[in-house]
Every structure is written in structure tokens, then in C-alpha cells.
Amino acid sequence: MPKASSTLAALRSLVAAWNPPDRRACEGVPTGVPAIDSALGGGLPGGQLTELVVAPGSGGQLTLVQLFETTRSARQRVALIDATDAFAPEVVAADLLRHLVWARCHNTEEAFKVADVLVRDGNYAAVVLDLRDAPGSALNRIPKTTWHRLHRITERQPAAVLVLSRYGLVPAVRWRLELPSRFRLSEQRRPRLELITALHAEALRGTFTEEMAG
Amino acid sequence: MNYAVITIPDFSLHALRRSEPDLARKPVALIEGEGRKAVLVQVSPEALGVERGLAVSLAMARCPGIVLRTRDLKAETDSHRLLVAAAFTLSPRVEITGPECCTVDLQGANPEQTERAMRQGVADLMRMGLPARPGAAATPLLAHYAACCAEPVLVVRDAREFLHDLPLSFAEPTARQAEVLDGWGIRTLGQLAALPKAEVGQRLGTEGAALWERAAGETTRPLRLTQPTQTFASAWDYEPGIDNIEPLFFKLRRYAECLAFELRSAGFVAESLALTLLLEDETDYWREYQLPEPNTDVEGWLKVMHSQLESLTLPARVVTVRFVAKPTRPLVKQEGLFDTGLRDPHAFWENLAKVSAILGEERVGTPVLEDTWRPDSFTLERPAESVPAPGPAAVHPPQGGVLRRFRPPRPVLVMMENSRPSGISGYASGAVQAAAGPWRASGDWWRPDHWAVETWHVEMETGEIFQLARTAGGWTIEGVVD
């Protein structure tokens, strides 16, 4: 009968074989939002999906623009897959978008087709799949196998994949954060950087401390 | 070596087999003549027991499975273009000596590089189904002899040694000359060339002297030079017409490989591709494919076209295809020391083409703001090859949240109180808790499409902050401030 230690070692090697070897080696991509970066232990993890659940007015678009600014400073490429074609480029200085590839989708189905292509690409530091305001009926029709496929594709690539949603959508996601706070109209005169610093992120699934312990 | 000759033995047969891959490894023969007078003129090695000049009935009796065909002139033209393209990889001074033969002036060329180029050309043509045999020597005639003996490349450095054992038939003596020389015991070119030219001339006349010169390989001549092609196009027919892309891509790949080879040999790359499909109902479909980066990568071309063609629906069958590659010189540039380039440029442009096929070309790219205050004015441009260093930070840091647009804007009714929005009804309804504005902008007053807009931010009971816009068309919600 095999010893318990050898069985455990075999189990570990099996788990290691299942996990892609470069999974933890992929560098994170800082979003520039302190609350999110600290919750994720430095930034969006490369080779993994991260879901950010945001209600309207709670800073989702602010986070997106800050991610663009941070990656622009680092001269990394970013892809935005915009399922509802809602991004407004005029809110950002023109120079801050020169690293961005924006895919303006007509519907959710197209967004997933585009994600399937761009996540595989390998030239992007981050790929953002923005599913906010997509019709619930379309989102509910997404089969789990599609998410599973996206997970598997992401694991093989260095890019960090951020899914923006209105409610928890992504099954088996390692990191799901929520921005619970909401801005008031009276705060719209504050510098954007102050608003970003004031953002609060709650981990709905996975925390950096759990990850470290694991 | 001053000259090279590239020849393809059994050219018509190989051209036919190249155009019909089903004939590969089958016994095939080309016939000429009609009825009982038809004889075999070219025979594939698989046709055992059959040789040139044999009557058709006899050939079929000796080799029951033999496939007999007549010449395919279209296939020969296509193969000839490849042969010429291969010749131009050696030198720009090329003579089209025959359909299956090109002579190249190599004077001034580096012998080692030329020999490498010849071997590469043989490999390229072989990959495309044409077993070429190049030979190089001091004169065009010697080079021709060398090409006839090449397996697969022969460079003649010592003409005397090379000619020594070559049969006399290479110099093409007349029947009488052959008989006389056979009587003298002369059976090789080397033996004839060893005789004094004047003595041969005295006994066999001027024709004999000319034969001696051919035997010595000394005959030289000026080449009738041809110009490299400047148009890179192929066309082919389907009989009957086709209604799916599989047979289209089968031939498209083959013709694309030929065009890519022609482009490379002429020192070009393809800037864009144009595909014209003529349909059975006498209409046509035309599409130009702008390549993300000029290249001769056939796989990349096909992927760009496949993304678009697989979703194409045509009203009738395709009967003729015309495929054109627009040539341009290859890009030569040096990257900046600190530029952040693409890790995999081919994948990047190819994937962008795929996304364009899914969304439409105008819906993917890098946003560039237009020089106007008109709301939502931007264009999507081709992403930069490398991400440049960011410019200086803005003098006035941005304030507040970021607009997330509704496209198109949602029409809404707005109730006003003291010239400020107090409630809205429509896409969203409710009392306005707080409002900021108005911000007014207008422009292009000198143009018919002049514009003017008044913008407000309103906070609703639900906590959402909407951006309202009042234009000549009424009130709309432009988006949510997020």
C-alpha cells in the first residue's frame, strides 16, 4: 500500500500538471485604482479572468479609464471589447488612447466572438470584456462552456482579462470584486484622481490573502 | 560561369499534373495527333513499359491504367510564369528561350551566391510541382548542355572535361554528319572537339565547322532579354460553377502561392489583394483586402480572405475567379530604441482582420478624436505599430466621473422648473434630485450640418447620474456618468 506522503506528492504533481506552468509567473497589470490593486495583490493577474461587478454610477467607467491611463504609461497594449458600444473616447485625453484597440460590438454574441480572437492574441497586456448593460436575456443565454473556453484560452496567454458586469456572471472565476460605493452629483467637481483614490472594492470571491495562504 | 539555363524536362506533362493534383503518382502520358495517328509525346515514369512515339492503342495495351491527355495550354502558361519568375531570382537579364526553358545572363554575379540561388529556385519550383534543372557554364550553349545533364543543378567549371563524355547527339548533327562521324569513330563531343576545327571544316564544309563549334560549346549569342512582369494576377474558371468556398480556396491557395513567388522574385510584396468572382447570372462580386502589413505570406493572405469569405452569401454560382495582388516595395524601417513593438505582429494584424470580419472594418481600431467640440466625434484608425512614449500630463487634471454613452441617445421628456430640469420621463423616469449645468456648445455654423447642444447632469432618486442633452431635435439622455 503506498504511503500517505507519496500519495500526496502524486496528487500535488497531478494538480501542478493541470495548472499551466506559467500561470503564476504572469505579471499582474496594475489598474491604477488603489482599492482594486491592493485587493488583487498588485493588479489584474495575467493569464486569468477577473470579474468586476459595478452598478451604474459606482465608478466602473472611471476604473476603465484609469486602467487605460496606467497601461498607457507603461506602454502596454489594451483591448476593449465593448458589448454595448458605450465607451466615450472624448472623456479621455487623446494621447491616452494610442495603445487602445477598441472593438465596438453590436451584441453580446459578437463580443464573445471577438474575445475569443483577442484573448488568444498575445500582444495585449490586458483585454477588457465590458458586458455592462448587455441585455439580461443575452447574458443568460451564454452557455457555461463558453466561459469555460474563455478560462482555458486565458490560461495560455499572458494577458489579464477583466470582465465588467452588472452582477456576478463568470462561473468559476478566481477573482470577483465589486465597487459598492456610488458617487453623488456634488462630487463631480472633485479631481478624478481623488475619486479614484476614494473608490472602495469588495472581494466577492478570492482575496489576495487567501491566495497567498493557498 | 557567365550563363545559366533553367529547363523543365517534360514540361507539358508536369504542367498538366500540377494543375490536376489527382494525376499525381498515376501513369500519365500526353498524346498528339488524332485517331489512329495519335502517339505519345511525353510519358510519366509511372507508365511502365511505355515510351515516347508509341501508338495510343499499344500504350493502353502495355499499361492498362494509363491516363492519356492532350496538352493543357492554360496550365502550361501558369507553369511558364513560375519558371520565368525563378529565372529572375538569378539575374535581371533573362531570355525566354522557350516555354520550358529560360537563359540567364550571369556576368558579374557572385558564383557562390548564384549557385545557392539556383538550388533555392529548384527547391521552390519543386515544391510547386515543377522539377526544374538548372545548369551554368561559360556560354549559353554549354549552360544548355549542363541543364540537360543536371541532377538537379550542374555548374560547369571545366568545359573540356564536361564535354568529353557527352554524346554527339547534344550538338544535333544532321543524319549525314552523324553517319560520317560514326565512320570516323567519333561518338562524343569531346572526341569531335579534339579534332582541328579547320580540318573538320575542310571535310564537312561550313556546316561541319558549325557542328564543331557546337561540340566545343564555344557558340555564343546575344540574349533576347525580357522584362520582369509588373502585374501579378491570375484567373481561372470552374466548370460547372461552385457554390461553396472549399473548392475556391483549394485553387486560390495554389494561385496565391504562384503570385507570392512571382512577387518575391521581382522584389515586391503585396500591399493589397483583390478578388473578383464572376457569377453564373452574369453579375460579379468584387472585394479588396487591405493587408495589415505588406507581405508575401500566403497563409496570412488566405486567413484574411477566409474570415470574410466564409460569411459571404452570393446569389449565384461562381464560374470565374480573378485574383490580383497589388505590388509594393517591402517596408524597410528601423524601430526606435525605446519603442514598444508588437510581440507577434502577424498574429496582431491577422486577429484585427478577423475582428474586422466579425464587426465590420469601421468598428475596430484605435480611437482618434476629431478636432471639434461636437459630441461623440471620433474616428477609428489602424493601431500603431508600436506604442509611443506618453506625452506630458494635462495642465488641468480632469474632474468628476466618466460618461458612458448610450448609442443612439435615448429620447426623454424633461420637466423644467426655474429653467432647470426637475423631472424626466421616458427611458428613465423620476424626479431630479440635483442638476448641474447647463454647458452649451455649438459649431460648424457655416455648414448645413451645424450643431448646437445644451448639456446637463442630473442625479436621479435611484442615485444614477444622467447626462441630458437638448438639441434642435429635443431632449435625450446621452449616457450615464459612471
Name the residue ranges covered by the structural domains of chain B: 3-155, 159-216, 232-328, 403-481
Q: What is the DSSP letter of A208?
A: H
- Residues in chain B within 8 Å Cβ distance of A76: 340, 387
Query: In a 10 Å sphere around its CB, with 0-12 CB exposed, 13-18 middle and 19+ buried, how is residue B242 labelled?
Result: middle
The set of cell numbers assigned to B350 is: 491577422
Q: Which CATH class is domain B159-216?
A: mainly alpha
| Alpha carbon of B318: minimum distance to chain A alpha carbons (Å) | 29
| Alpha carbon of A54: minimum distance to chain B alpha carbons (Å) | 9
CB–CB contact A61 B402 (8 Å): yes
Instruction: Say how many residues make up chain B.
Output: 482
Confidence (pLDDT) at B43? 87
Backbone angles phi, psi at B441, to 5 degrees: -145, 150
End-to-end distance of chain A based on CA atoms, in angstroms?
29
Compute the distance between CA of residue A198 and CA of residue A201 in angstroms, rounded to an integer: 10
Cβ atoms of residues B369 and A156 within 8 Å: no
- Residues in chain A within 8 Å Cβ distance of B406: 86
Partner residue opposite A56 with nearest CB, options B368, B457, B482: B482
- SS3 assignment, position A77: coil
Divide the 482 residues of chain B into consecutive groups of 10 and give the mean pLDDT of each group: 91 91 88 84 87 88 90 92 92 91 88 89 91 92 91 88 88 90 90 90 90 86 86 90 87 91 89 92 89 84 84 88 89 58 75 83 90 89 84 82 91 90 88 89 88 92 90 91 87
pTM for this prediction: 0.57
Beta strands per DSSP E along B334-473: 364-369, 378-381, 403-417, 420-426, 430-443, 451-460, 465-471
**ipTM of this complex:** 0.84
Q: Would the pLDDT of A4 be above 70?
A: no
Compute the distance between CA of residue A148 and CA of residue B124 in angstroms, rounded to an integer: 44
Q: Would the pLDDT of A193 be above 60?
A: yes
Compute the distance between CA of residue B19 and CA of residue B30 in angstroms, rounded to an integer: 14
Compute the distance between CA of residue B40 and CA of residue B53 in angstroms, rounded to an integer: 5
Cβ-Cβ contacts under 8 Å for A21 (sequence gap 6 or more): none
* Selected residues 69-128 of chain A with any CB under 8 Å from a CB in chain B: 72-73, 75-77, 85-106, 110, 113-114, 117-118, 120-123
Q: Would the pLDDT of A214 be above 80?
A: no
User: What does CATH list as the number for B232-328?
Assistant: 3.30.1490.100
- Residues in chain B within 8 Å Cβ distance of A88: 376, 402-405, 479
Chain B, nearest residue to A64 by Cα:
B402
- Residues in chain B within 8 Å Cβ distance of A110: 358-359
Q: Are strands A49-54 and A175-179 parallel, antiparallel or unpaired?
A: parallel
Q: Which CATH class is domain B3-155?
A: alpha beta
Residue with cell 470580419: B357
**Number of Cβ atoms within 10 Å of the Cβ of A99:** 26
Confidence (pLDDT) at B340? 57
Compute the distance between CA of residue B146 and CA of residue B472 in angstroms, rounded to an integer: 84
